[in-house]
Amino acid sequence: MAELILSGPAGRIEARYNQSEVEGSPIALILHGHPRAASSMQDRVAVMMHKLFVERGYSTLRFNFRGVGKSQGSFDNGIGELADAAAMLDWLQSINPNTKFTWVAGYSFGAYIALQLLMRRPEIDAFVAVGTPCNHYDLSFLAPCPSSGMMFYGSNDLVSPPIEVERAVSKIRTQKGEEVEWQEIPGADHFFKDQLGILRDKTSEYVDRIMAQPRKPQPTGRR
């Protein structure tokens, strides 16, 4: 794994990167939780998702949002963090120009940023959102959602209660051929303290299922 300092909208961005040895392999961008909650790319959920994609041979990048770790800048209430994510996706694409599939995966605040990013970047093919804080952020911008994805949440999540997640996801409409799914992890809190292995298994199942499906014709704007 390479430890990198990359250029971002607010200055340097600290990142960790694994390059696939397979030409044209899928790419994955991992987004961590809320900076004001002391979250970073070293969070156990972010690290788990990074390893999961690397084990499948995907070129995978995770990074610290502005103001976290060695990343310059300061917290920007999601606006600057979205710009950080877009810049990191640009970098990931620039060194993997022949990729045929793009994933974005986020945890908590990072899940919210991931959902915003896919609305702006038609080349994102699928997403995983874990512990999305649906009671803190309005997801009505997913109208319609342009990519398929899975939203995982814990049955004991007090930060984003299951009823809020289910209510938000049930209102999401998708573009033709895309599907947004949601799945509860029994006994899990917002941090998946004792259920990280279950979350990993469920995420693995979803990623493998999506990648086994025939590719749909790409709409205008995608590679």
Q: Residue 2 contacts by C-beta under 8 Å, 6 or more apart in sequence? A: 16, 17, 18, 19
Query: Which of 34, 30, 110, 86 has its CA nearest to residue 63?
Result: 30
Q: Is the peptide bond before 122 cis (omega within 30 degrees of 0)?
A: no
- pLDDT class of 214 with cuts at 50, 70, 90: confident
**pLDDT over threshold 90, residue 216:** no
The percent of residues in the chain predicted with pLDDT above 70, rounded, is 96
DSSP string, 181-216: EEEEETT--TT-TTTHHHHHHHHHHHHHHHHHSPPP
DSSP string, 102-155: EEEEEETHHHHHHHHHHHH-TT--EEEEES--TTTS--TT-TTB-SEEEEEEET
Among left, alpha and beta (phi > 0; psi -120 to 50; other), residue 149 is beta
**pLDDT over threshold 90, residue 222:** no
**What confidence score (pLDDT) does residue 215 get?**
72
Report helix, strand or coil for 11.
Answer: strand
**What confidence score (pLDDT) does residue 218 get?**
53
**What confidence score (pLDDT) does residue 217 get?**
56
**pLDDT over threshold 50, residue 51:** yes
pTM: 0.94
**What confidence score (pLDDT) does residue 220 get?**
44
Eight-state DSSP code of residue 39: -
Q: What is the pLDDT of residues 123-177, one digit of tens each?
A: 999 999 999 999 999 899 998 999 999 999 999 999 999 999 999 998 899 999 9
Computed from CA positions of residues 166, 79, 66, 5, in that sequence, does the dihedral angle turn out positive or negative? positive
- pLDDT class of 206 with cuts at 50, 70, 90: very high
Average pLDDT over residues 42-70: 98
Average pLDDT over residues 20-33: 97
Average pLDDT over residues 35-40: 95
Average pLDDT over residues 43-70: 98
**pLDDT over threshold 60, residue 186:** yes
Q: Quick check: 33 and 107 in contact, CB under 8 A?
A: yes
Tokens at residue 72, please? 């310059």
d(CA 72, CA 64): 9
The CATH fold of domain 2-212: Rossmann fold (3.40.50)
d(CA 178, CA 145): 8
Q: What is the mean pLDDT of the chain?
A: 94
Average pLDDT over residues 186-207: 97
- pLDDT class of 223 with cuts at 50, 70, 90: very low
The percent of residues in the chain predicted with pLDDT above 90, rounded, is 91
